[in-house]
């Protein structure tokens, strides 16, 4: 009986340890291994919604739905909002480097500058951002690293500029590519339905079937990602856990998302 009681005690002790471990992850709002603290979501009016310990540096609150892109600066002590007319709004420690008189669709930052992409494939470089060229195509996204940038088209083709490696493209039929997200030696592409395409060292952790997808964001460890839909759903895969349901809009007006480290 004494041995049986000892075994029961050990089992209960182990269960309590497991429960406390899971509660720590739940209440901290993050998986400690992944080393990120939250994220931002932005709607088309420039309103910012924060999860975890993502800091509030302000928001636009436009009267019309014109915000198209959101990006943190390199120090993550501020951020930018881009409107569809090419105007850049800087908040917190983010420095303003210039606006673009164009039909803008995306903004990506460098350490002391940023790029703006317009709907026709033209790229505009500001601050210390280096210009490598643009395309004449139906583009949807621009993603940068320290050696250059990628441009994604609506039909899934990836163009590479500067000293970056191209890992592949897709040829989509009856659906559209919407965003890509980089890993160290590869990238993801997500389409408007929610299917994910992994290239290079990127690991496919799954997709969603909800439609109206707006973004895919890889977590810093590269062991998971979020998929953002236009209603504010942040669908987490693999190591991307801890923050859910920060905003839900009946109107599909959510446009962008950024991970906060």
For 2-30, write each residue's pLDDT tens digit. 455 565 655 665 555 444 444 333 333 33
- In this prediction, residues 41-54 reach a mean pLDDT of 96
Q: How far apart are CA 244 and CA 261, in angstroms?
A: 17
Q: Once rounded to an integer, what is the mean pLDDT over residues 48-56?
A: 94
E strands along 5-75, which residues? 38-43, 48-52, 67-72
**Percentage of the chain with pLDDT > 90?**
79
User: pLDDT, tens digit, for every residue of 75-123?
Assistant: 999 999 999 999 999 999 999 999 999 999 999 999 999 999 999 999 9
Structure tokens at 25: 């992850």
Instruction: Judge residue 209's burial from the number of C-beta atoms within 10 Å of its C-beta, 0-12 exposed, 13-18 middle, 19 or more buried.
Output: exposed
pLDDT bin (cut points 50, 70, 90) of residue 146 is: confident
Alpha carbons 186 and 120: distance in angstroms, whole number: 25
Per-residue pLDDT, averaged over 39-52, amounts to 96
At the top level of CATH, the class of 36-260 is mainly beta
Residue for token pair 């280096």: 130
List pLDDT tens digits, range 168-185: 999 999 999 999 999 999
What is the C-alpha separation between 80 and 57, in angstroms, rounded? Answer: 10
pLDDT grade, residue 31 (50/70/90)?
very low
Lowest mean pLDDT among 6-10, 45-49, 128-132, 181-185: 6-10
Segment 114-142 shows an average pLDDT of 97
Check whether 39 has a pLDDT greater than 70. yes
Instruction: Please write the tens of the pLDDT for every residue from 238-256.
Output: 988 766 667 888 889 999 9
d(CA 50, CA 213): 19
């Amino acid at each position: 009986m004494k041995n049986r009681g000892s075994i029961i005690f050990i089992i209960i002790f182990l269960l309590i340890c497991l429960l406390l471990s899971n509660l720590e992850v739940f209440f901290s709002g993050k998986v400690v291994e992944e080393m990120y603290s939250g994220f931002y979501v932005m709607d088309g009016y420039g309103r910012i919604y924060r999860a975890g310990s993502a800091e509030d540096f302000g928001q636009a609150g436009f009267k019309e739905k014109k915000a198209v892109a959101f990006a943190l600066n390199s120090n993550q002590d501020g951020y930018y909002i881009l409107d569809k007319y090419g105007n850049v709004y800087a908040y917190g420690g983010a420095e303003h480097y210039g606006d673009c008189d164009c039909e803008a669709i995306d903004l990506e930052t460098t350490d002391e500058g940023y790029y703006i992409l317009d709907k026709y494939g033209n790229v505009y470089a500001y601050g210390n951002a280096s210009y490598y060229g643009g395309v004449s195509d139906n583009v949807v996204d621009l993603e940068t690293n320290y050696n250059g940038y990628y441009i994604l088209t609506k039909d899934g083709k990836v163009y590479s500029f500067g000293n970056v490696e191209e890992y592949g493209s897709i040829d989509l039929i009856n659906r559209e590519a919407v965003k890509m997200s980089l890993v160290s030696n590869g990238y993801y592409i997500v389409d408007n339905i929610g299917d994910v395409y992994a290239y290079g060292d990127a690991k496919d952790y799954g997709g969603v079937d909800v439609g109206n997808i707006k973004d895919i964001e890889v977590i810093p460890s590269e062991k998971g990602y979020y998929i953002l839909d236009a209603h504010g759903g942040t669908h987490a895969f693999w190591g991307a856990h801890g923050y859910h349901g920060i905003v839900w809009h009946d109107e599909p007006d959510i446009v962008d998302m950024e991970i906060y480290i």
